[in-house]
Amino acid sequence: MSGIEVVEPGLQTTVQDRGRPGQARLGISAAGAADPLALDLANRLAGNPPGAAALEMALLGGSFRFDAPALVALAGADMRAEADGLPFAPFTSRRVRAGGLVRCGAAVSGARTYLAVAGGIDTPPFLGSRSTHLPSRLGGLEGRALRRGDRLAIGAPPGARTADAGPASLRDRGLVAPAAALRVTAGAQADRFDAETRRLLEGAEFTVSAASDRMGLRLEGPPLPAPGGGRMASEGMPLGALQVPPDGQPILLFVDHQTTGGYPVIATVIGADLWRAGQLRPGARVRFEAVAMETARALLLEQRRRLRSPDLLAGAPAGPGTA
């Protein structure tokens, strides 16, 4: 079985797929890719099914050597990547030779990049997923971020596209277009917040704190007055919940979030915009826009329809270093 050697691990590189939903009753977070859209697109470019495991790199990418020829793809933030010394743009695929090196640098925009390889990263699954959950050290490779010298197995390529197709790129279908705000629906405790606080949430601009991580994005901005002093009996918490603790500085619960919490939730980021949250880096500014549940559902269905489009990818002629 072919494999990948980690030459340089980057700042925080982990194995991620679409996660392990449905385990919250056991106290186990779903984890999974912080930008699920970029993961799906990287896998599509590599000829994999959407849920295949790939490498998630945060802010500063790593370098990876392939011990056999492979079809690889990048999606997400631009990390000024190279494959065998040639530029390797995000949202494209490329063939690397045996012994070939893919090197990623610092993200010039956004926060996370996904490196997919035909066949997927083949680490042992835990509860049906290969995703790394860092707080509990579950999944991925020993439940941790990658280190220099680690080796990762690659699964069998899934079909003819990966064997025969040349490099490909993503057609511009508006899937990864920037947006002025994260769209949200009403949170579980929204009706406990007064109308002025709900208006403040939509009218204010917040900054992503340096204390943010995969568990949650801590936001800094005008304090939001919370009911009950920001405390309540603990209950189940969904991905994307916008909690308001006693200091009034919101926390956006993210992919490694705890399954229960005791702060009231004023809003929840819609499924179609979770990928945008995954690309927010410390210092980024974010606003919120309230939408109806029906709108949130329609946006997610439209996003999924575009992802399934048969003409999503554009072929590219093979060039030097691509075969």
C-beta separation of 47 from 157 below 8 A: yes
Q: Top-level CATH class of 182-291?
A: mainly beta
Q: At what angle do helices 293-307 and 36-46 cross, to 10 degrees?
A: 20
Q: Residue 162's pLDDT is what?
A: 53
Q: Residue 320's pLDDT is what?
A: 37
d(CA 232, CA 243): 11
Q: Which of 265, 215, 61, 259 is nearest to 146 (CA)?
A: 61
Q: Residue 311's pLDDT is what?
A: 85
C-beta separation of 268 from 187 below 8 A: yes
pTM: 0.93
Q: Residue 322's pLDDT is what?
A: 39
Predicted confidence pLDDT, tens digits, the chain (323 residues): 689 999 999 999 999 999 999 888 888 889 999 999 999 999 999 999 988 999 999 999 999 999 999 999 999 999 999 999 999 999 999 999 999 999 999 999 899 999 999 999 999 999 999 999 999 999 999 999 999 999 999 999 876 555 455 578 887 667 888 788 999 999 999 999 999 999 999 999 999 999 999 999 999 999 999 999 998 999 999 999 999 999 999 999 999 999 999 999 999 999 999 999 999 999 999 999 999 999 999 999 999 999 988 888 887 543 334 33
d(CA 121, CA 229): 46
Question: For residue 35, what are the CA distances in angstroms to 19, 38, 56, 76?
Answer: 12, 6, 9, 8
Q: Residue 282's pLDDT is what?
A: 96
Domain boundaries, the chain: 3-171+311-315, 182-291
